[in-house]
């Protein structure tokens, strides 16, 4: 019997080696020698260093804020004043107001538009004007100049609107810069670097392990047959005589003599051979010493008696 064959999967091809001038520029360290989380740590480190450098080297910015309130006239109510406050908040950075405020702010119109922004409140008739500049004095001057220009422009139409504008709180020189804040910049830079490093860690290709060759098992039937074929047969013991297994005596068919003319043997020899065959059949039919005539049907017993008589 042939042994079952096992098929092994082919080995994966080796990755191609880098050749050419770019191979000389490869770093001396290998990526496999670094831990798996090195992109995350590198991203956090670069984010912290970059944010700290920005917070220390960037130009500080100062912010100053002034407020303009809208007062209702004799024929108006608070709801009318609130609606006009929303409208004046939208036109606070218009070209007409900025053109009147550029002389007091000592800034061109384009620079003043970038340095000033306005905001309104939904429940108070007030306009907030914020000025931003690289120095505290310029920030306060830009905010106050726009607030005064808005007040003068709005009061020119008091007869038609029924409301009057007034400077509620002027801007003062700030004592501390609002940006950049070194702790805030470092925190934001570390989070951004960690996010970029995590994305790089997820997108980096991972090395594939070589599959372990596993043999294909043979069918159960073929394995059992091969085991039975390889099992040695028990040797017969010559010292112990073999005992005949008890079985029913079976009557052997009488041997028929072939015609003498066909075989060329004389008739007396044929008769003697037939008697010997009948005697052998009688001995086989009764292996345990029983009389052959005692078993079988009456017909068989009569035939056996005739043969023995012959």
Per run of 10 residues, the mean pLDDT along the chain (length 310 residues) is 58 60 48 76 90 86 93 84 91 89 88 91 91 91 93 89 90 86 87 90 68 53 56 50 47 45 55 74 52 57 69
Q: Are 168 and 126 in contact (CB under 8 A)?
A: yes
**Is this structure's pTM higher than 0.85?**
no
Measured distance CA(300)–CA(310) in Å, rounded:
16
Both tokens of 8, joined, read: 């092994």
Q: Which CA distances in Å does 134 have to 58, 130, 178?
A: 11, 14, 10
CATH of domain 62-169: 3.30.70.1130
Measured distance CA(148)–CA(260) in Å, rounded:
157
Tell me the residue ranges of DSSP E strands in the chain: 62-72, 116-120, 126-133, 163-169
Measured distance CA(111)–CA(138) in Å, rounded:
12
Helix, strand, coil percent content, the chain, rounded in steps of 5: 50, 10, 40
Other Cβ atoms less than 10 A from the Cβ of 47: the count is 22
- Delimit the domains of the chain by residue range: 36-58+180-203, 62-169, 260-309
């Amino acid at each position: 019997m042939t042994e079952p064959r096992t098929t092994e999967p082919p080995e994966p091809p080796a990755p191609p080696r880098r050749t050419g001038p770019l191979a000389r520029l490869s770093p001396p360290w290998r990526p496999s020698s670094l831990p798996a989380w090195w992109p995350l740590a590198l991203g956090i480190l670069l984010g912290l260093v970059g944010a700290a450098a920005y917070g220390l080297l960037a130009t500080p910015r100062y912010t100053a804020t002034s407020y303009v309130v809208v007062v209702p006239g004799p024929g108006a109510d608070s709801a009318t004043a609130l609606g006009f406050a929303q409208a004046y908040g939208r036109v606070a950075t218009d070209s007409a107001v900025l053109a009147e405020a550029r002389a007091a702010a000592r800034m061109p119109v384009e620079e003043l538009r970038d340095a000033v922004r306005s905001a309104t409140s939904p429940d108070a008739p007030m306009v907030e004007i914020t000025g931003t500049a690289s120095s505290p004095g310029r920030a306060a001057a830009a905010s106050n100049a726009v607030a005064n220009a808005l007040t003068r422009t709005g009061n020119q139409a008091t007869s038609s609107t029924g409301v009057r504008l007034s400077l509620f709180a002027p801007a003062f020189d700030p004592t501390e810069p609002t940006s950049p804040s070194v702790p805030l910049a470092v925190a934001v830079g570390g989070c951004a670097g960690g996010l970029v490093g995590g994305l790089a860690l997820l997108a980096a290709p991972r090395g594939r392990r070589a599959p372990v060759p596993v043999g294909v098992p043979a069918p159960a039937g073929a394995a059992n047959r091969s085991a039975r074929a390889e099992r040695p047969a028990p040797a017969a013991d010559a010292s112990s005589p073999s005992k005949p297994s008890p079985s029913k005596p079976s009557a052997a068919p009488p041997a028929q003599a072939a015609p003498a003319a066909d075989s060329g043997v004389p008739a007396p020899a044929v008769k003697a051979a037939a008697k010997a065959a009948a005697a052998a059949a009688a001995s086989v039919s009764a292996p345990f010493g029983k009389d052959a005539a005692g078993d079988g049907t009456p017909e068989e017993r009569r035939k056996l008696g005739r043969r023995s008589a012959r």
